[in-house]
């Protein structure tokens, strides 16, 4: 496999062209796993997940004025109302007409478990029966917390340490399903209407670190994040959203330009030979290209650093030498490092690094001037910790043929 974009002779416009071609290939592949159109069995259209323009369009289709979109947006995303009859600024006859054509739904909750440490895991079921997990991780000291959202059911990548990676990609989640996870988690804590401005929020940050690779479902993820960031609705700042990627280099540029959200990189190894094994996508986009894309990432600054996630696996990637190499790799970047002791799951042979190793590794990074907190697993007792998510959903047979072929052809 060639890696032409890492060559220093390649000009920036040639790099753009290469990346553009690669982006198109990624998006064409992503379309094979598109979610079903969000329409109920009785033909009603789901309004959650539509952009403002699309919302105006569907209203025009039923003979209503597009300005109604603003009113509906407020009820759906600011007030969190799902019942048209409760939209009190809308006249009764119009409420009835809206209910005839549309719904404001949520994914249905299959199970909800709350851990000893208050982490809460939701298993959501979507209209076609597929399922994905969402986790709320409360801050230990303050009344705020992170919602960890899934972007796909399963994952095409098969990182050797990750439970989700053992589940084939079933399909991408749609914008409605991605926003819906956040809204349904918020229902569970009753946090409506959306707090305005800097008013404290319980569900205060979003991390796209659940099941799946968000940059392999870019369009739906981007649409969902734009809805969540819209100032007249949920209004969560782009500074409070972090997308984690295993390193889909060509899509990182787009994500930075269009969304400006924070970036987390699942690094896990500092040498290509080891990273090729742990994160097989590295064979396509090796470490040098990944780091170069981080240097280009427009939304990064000293106040908004790129997070490098590093799972500490005993005897595999946790030596002093590797810590020093890690520091060398991130030098010059506004960066911080999250050290995550490997979370075991049934069937994996890896073990977490020892406490002493973790402390020593962290110290080397901190001595170089970077923050390197050790992230103790949360929600371990309910299998909600990083890399432990997996559902029973399976790919339906008619998809199996085409997708298996593409899996084999480029090892993603
Ligand atoms: N696909 C994206 C986002 C989802 S994975 C990515 O890989 O970044 C979310 C995070 O969980 C990643 O940092 C991943 O490396 C980490 N993770 C996966 N398996 C883990 C495990 N067994 N123990 C600890 N962290 C794990
Ligand atoms: Fe997919 Fe991320 Fe798990 Fe790798 S770590 S298999 S990219 S979800």
**At which of 40, 68, 103 does a domain end?**
103
* C-alpha 229 – ligand 1 centre gap (Å): 24
Whether residue 114 sits in one domain with residue 98: no
Instruction: Give, for 409, the enclosing helix (H) or strand (E).
Output: helix 397-410
Whether residue 259 sits in one domain with residue 296: yes
115 lines ligand 1 (CB under 6 A): no
* C-alpha 209 – ligand 1 centre gap (Å): 7
Asked if pLDDT for residue 399 goes beyond 80, the answer is: no
Would you state the pLDDT for residue 383? 76
Whether residue 119 sits in one domain with residue 81: no
- Best residue among 150, 161, 162, 278 to mutate for probing ligand 1, ranked by most atoms within 8 Å of CB: 162
Q: How confident is the model over 33-87, as pLDDT tens digits?
A: 999 999 999 999 999 999 999 999 999 999 999 999 999 999 999 999 999 999 9
Would residue 404 count as lying in a domain?
no
Q: How confident is the model at residue 198 (pLDDT cuts 50, 70, 90)?
A: confident
387 lines ligand 1 (CB under 6 A): yes
Would you state the pLDDT for residue 317? 98
Asked if pLDDT for residue 129 goes beyond 70, the answer is: yes
Q: Phi and psi of 214, rounded to 5°?
A: -60, -30
Residue % of the chain over a pLDDT of 90: 78
Would you state the pLDDT for residue 5? 43
Which is the catalytic residue, given 46, 133, 177, 309? 133
Rounded to 10 degrees, the C-alpha dihedral 152/158/159/161 comes to 90
Q: How confident is the model at residue 9 (pLDDT cuts 50, 70, 90)?
A: low
Whether residue 219 sits in one domain with residue 275: yes
Active site residue 155: no
Whether residue 94 sits in one domain with residue 208: no
CB count in 10 Å sphere of residue 58: 17
Residue nearest atom 17 of ligand 1, based on CA coordinates:
387
Please report, for the domain that includes residue 81, its CATH number: 1.10.150.530
Please report, for the domain that includes residue 369, its CATH number: 3.20.20.70
Asked if pLDDT for residue 205 goes beyond 90, the answer is: yes
The residue-averaged pLDDT of 236-248 equals: 96
For the chain, the average pLDDT equals 90
- Best residue among 387, 389, 390 to mutate for probing ligand 1, ranked by most atoms within 8 Å of CB: 387
Cα–Cα distance for residue pair 378/136, rounded to 1 Å: 10
Would you state the pLDDT for residue 408? 28
Would you state the pLDDT for residue 13? 75
Would residue 167 count as lying in a domain?
yes
Q: How confident is the model at residue 397 (pLDDT cuts 50, 70, 90)?
A: very low
Q: How confident is the model over 73-117, as pLDDT tens digits?
A: 999 999 999 999 999 999 999 999 999 999 999 999 999 999 999
Q: How confident is the model over 258-317, as pLDDT tens digits?
A: 999 999 999 999 999 999 999 999 999 999 999 999 999 988 888 899 999 999 999 999
Asked if pLDDT for residue 136 goes beyond 90, the answer is: yes
Whether residue 178 sits in one domain with residue 85: no
Whether residue 114 sits in one domain with residue 94: no
**At which of 103, 122, 142 does a domain end?**
103
Active site residue 289: no
Better pLDDT: 154 or 14: 154
Asked if pLDDT for residue 398 goes beyond 70, the answer is: no
Q: How confident is the model over 301-340, as pLDDT tens digits?
A: 888 999 999 999 999 999 999 999 999 999 999 999 999 9
The whole domain housing 83 covers: 49-103
Asked if pLDDT for residue 225 goes beyond 90, the answer is: yes
CB count in 10 Å sphere of residue 356: 8
Number of domains in the chain: 2
Whether residue 327 sits in one domain with residue 211: yes
- Best residue among 246, 249, 265 to mutate for probing ligand 2, ranked by most atoms within 8 Å of CB: 246
* b (16+ CB within 10 A) / e for 179-205: bbbbbbbbebeebeebbeeeeebbbbb
Which residues lie closer than 8 Å to 43 by C-beta, 6 or more apart? none
Task: Give the distance between the most distant pair of CA atoms in the chain.
Answer: 70
Nearest-atom number in ligand 2 for the CA of 212 is 8
Better pLDDT: 85 or 410: 85
Q: How confident is the model at residue 389 (pLDDT cuts 50, 70, 90)?
A: confident
Would residue 17 count as lying in a domain?
no
Ligand 2 pocket by C-beta < 6 Å: which residues? 155, 157-159, 162, 164-165, 212-213, 246, 266
Which residues lie closer than 8 Å to 291 by C-beta, 6 or more apart? 329, 330, 333
Residue ranges of alpha helices (H) inside 32-67 are 52-61
Would you state the pLDDT for residue 1? 39
Whether residue 363 sits in one domain with residue 319: yes
């Amino acid at each position: 496999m060639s890696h032409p974009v890492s060559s220093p002779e390649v000009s920036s416009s040639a790099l753009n062209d290469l990346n553009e071609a690669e982006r198109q290939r990624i998006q064409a592949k992503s379309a094979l796993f598109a979610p079903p159109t969000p329409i109920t069995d009785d033909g009603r259209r789901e309004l959650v997940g539509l952009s403002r323009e699309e919302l105006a369009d569907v209203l025009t289709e039923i003979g209503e004025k597009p300005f109604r979109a603003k009113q509906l947006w407020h009820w759906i995303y600011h007030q969190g109302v799902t019942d048209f009859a409760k939209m009190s600024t809308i006249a009764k006859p119009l409420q009835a007409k809206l209910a005839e054509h549309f719904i404001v739904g949520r994914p249905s909750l299959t199970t909800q478990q709350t851990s000893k440490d208050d982490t809460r895991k939701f298993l959501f079921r979507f209209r076609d029966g597929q399922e994905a997990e969402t986790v709320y991780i409360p801050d230990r000291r303050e009344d705020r917390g992170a919602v960890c959202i899934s972007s796909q059911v399963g994952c095409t990548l098969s990182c050797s340490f990750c439970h989700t990676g053992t589940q084939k990609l079933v399909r991408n989640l749609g914008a409605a399903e991605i926003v819906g996870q956040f809204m349904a988690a918020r229902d569970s804590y009753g946090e409506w209407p959306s707090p305005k401005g800097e008013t404290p929020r319980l569900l205060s940050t979003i991390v796209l670190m659940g099941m799946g690779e968000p940059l392999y479902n870019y369009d739906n993820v981007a649409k969902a994040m734009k809805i969540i960031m819209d100032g007249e609705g949920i209004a969560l700042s782009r500074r409070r959203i972090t997308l984690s990627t295993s390193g889909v280099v060509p899509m990182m540029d787009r994500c930075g330009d269009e969304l400006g959200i924070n970036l987390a990189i699942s690094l896990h190894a500092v040498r290509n030979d080891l990273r090729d094994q742990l994160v097989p996508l590295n064979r396509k986009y090796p470490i040098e290209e990944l780091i170069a894309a981080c240097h280009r990432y427009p939304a990064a600054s000293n106040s908004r650093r790129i997070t490098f996630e590093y799972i500490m696996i005993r005897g595999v990637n946790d030596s002093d030498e590797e810590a020093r190499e890690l520091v060398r790799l991130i030098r010059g970047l506004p960066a911080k490092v999250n050290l995550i002791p490997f979370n075991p799951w049934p069937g994996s042979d890896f073990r977490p690094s020892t406490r002493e190793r973790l402390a020593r590794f962290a110290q080397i990074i901190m001595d170089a001037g970077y923050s390197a907190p050790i992230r103790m697993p949360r929600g371990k007792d309910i299998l909600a910790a990083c890399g432990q998510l997996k559902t029973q959903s399976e790919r339906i047979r008619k998809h199996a043929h085409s997708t298996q072929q593409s899996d084999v052809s480029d090892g993603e």
